Chain A
């Protein structure tokens, strides 16, 4: 493909203007659209790059030019396989770049194509001989939303899309067929009652055990993270206002976000083990960095944490609120700095005022809600080896604490707990237990879901955490890596500036911008809080009717079945994490050498943006989607089995909910490949 590709760049300087004058339109549309060159049989796409998208102004094919009226320019282009295309590009504002996934050869990657204001750039003819959906991306930092400046290019016939739709339906049907054979307590053929005691695994087990029982483990893991977060705060407030040039943005919203999603599946709440946000409060309250204080006197007023707040509502709504401001949050360093600074201070205050436990983590932290919720689908869990031993052992050091470890800071009875929702994996129970009865278990995804789901009577907070996370995963993939820039612009309030502390005033929106933001907020909150939950409720009602069981309230099915979104959601989030990582992996590495974005290269790791095979993304995301879908259907069946205690009824209910899960899967398939 690369051999066939010939790129010629013709730069026509029409006017000499200072670059600062970025808003001037120096190339008239007439001149741009009037192409004096002969491109043979190539299709000519007249592309306008702007902050932050690409608009197709005109397409010339077979001697005919189709011009799109202002405001109606598409950002999705179609090309026939084997077709030749010349892109004739101008910039409407600042300097932009031009990159096509899978079609930009290495030679051009090294000398990126720049579209400067006042110039017309011609790229091509490019031979599109690989069908599929490809992204056009900006390769030159052009403002805060630069990493999300994309357009879609579909090389027809895009057979992968219909094939993916068919595979999605087939996987769904096969999973339904599998559960129709009444598998007892299994997940896709793997028994759920089996697990591996990781601390007893030969060679690794004893080392891991010694490490986790070492009192300094928590401190040793937190301190490096704390230092990183201090750099995050510093760069957030004082670093370069442009997001992708600032450590706070690229470390938190590319590396951290992606790593946490993957960690949830593989390591449950491992992030909570490492998280430095509550560290100051915890150290101060205990008066120790890592040892167990000899006398159990805490630096805290010790007020009782209100029972009404003992749930996941605040984390869920906090996460949703952050989603409402996400275009600002993930692109403006100062907004990230303010949010994380606020979290650090709030955690400290809560430690000093309330009982010195993890109240902040349990009931406030916006990440806690979703990490805890999805952790129930993780393959890792802290559990007792023998629950009878715990029940017979009256002292309950895991709750009260012992000279070797603190009582569970997460206010649990670790010896008896059977779900990951609120277990922060601090490993205090491994240290405090005098019977060596606590361990780390490796198990199949979904071991606890059936039991948790079946007992979920009034856990609307957890159900809504699931709905918010699930819908937002699909929405983010569509908005951030999709071609519909107007959605991003609504959330962004149309502001083209980055911001640090010195330039925070640039974020002042106009009334019109606020009006747009309200539309965005209504759309996000509407889908997450009403649209999808409403659909889920209707399907729960149909599943009840179809199962023929009338004495179980629809509300219970609605809440119980929602736990199937724990594995489904996390697989979709991991798919989104791959989008972030493959496209933007070079930013965090560069930021290590230039954390404040001042142009330094401290450790020699700074280099130009370079995506890592982004054209492979749909093929990486597809298995994640299919696995998530299959596990969600199987988990629904396991939950239904526990509720109905009757295979026939459980299968009928699963069938209905399976249709909904499949529909969601098809939407995601459309987002990634359609």
Chain B
């Protein structure tokens, strides 16, 4: 145990002292910050665009302006409800900020001419038009045919669709209202009709005791375990993905440094592997812990500003994550999943002399890792679907899919059986990987030797390497 600890400590300190670790540690908060600000930045960097509407009687013009105004108001209200901040001054969520900003980026200008031919110089930028944001070319012209009432949308940029989308909604609403008014029906009747639709009461069948305590209403507490499971499943995937590269590269370095013989006279191979696996796991756990701590600190700072409803939701999600029926199988899946994939990476690393060689092995490993992702996507839709239930019996998928299936309460025997399956798989892969690692580390075997050796396990094939 002591030597395993020493290998763990050396490897762990080696990793955390490397600049790559700190880069990885900082990358997540930087990514979040980037995500938070880049939206607003993109929106504010989006230029103000002028458009004009040529129509005999003002109809769509005012309606389009009203549409922009209403959308902006709705967005603002939604944001206030979500954050509890009364006055929406600074940026809050990137998506809302982007939407709000983009709505204000189209400004209607009185038409400088009435036909497309006459408007062409302004559209092509040969002439500029004055507006609230200074002189600019015309971004789009909407021309209403006075006879048929059809609309033509002319623009020099087909990639920006915000104005066209708003126009579509406006035309739909306006023509519907016109249609109803022509039949002496108040357009507001549609809204009234919507209000008469009966509410759908979503309820969960619970035991009498539970129902007596918390009622039948479905709350976030009922859905939180699923959200937690999804998060944990992705987290396991991410840990394996990042740890795999550490393990692969670390072993290559050790093989390159020709240090195995010295180590193996001081420590047994399984102890060495255990120390290495624990070190890399600890590195990723350190990274996640740091992220959670920073995230938790920000959450704690912001929680006082949040409305009670949001605060309760967060509490429900956190308490769902601490539920023992989720924590135990998840922890087991985590450990066994990491072990299964971790030793594969270690074994592969022991066969490679160079990073280039390792890169050729990384591709199949990435494909192998992408396969559970497909399973995760199916499980997001329905964790009880037959595809997910079936796929969860494939050992390499089990760690991810079992975590996802736990909130859907699969039969207990299935949980135990799948944990057993993972144990057997982990033991088998560990045995195989130790053999491969020994061949690589002690005998200097390469990738081709390992392939020959593995072929020896199949009938009719003869093992080439004796060790």
Q: Do A and B bind each other?
A: no
User: Could you list which residues of chain A lie within 8 angstroms of chain B, going by C-beta atoms?
Assistant: none
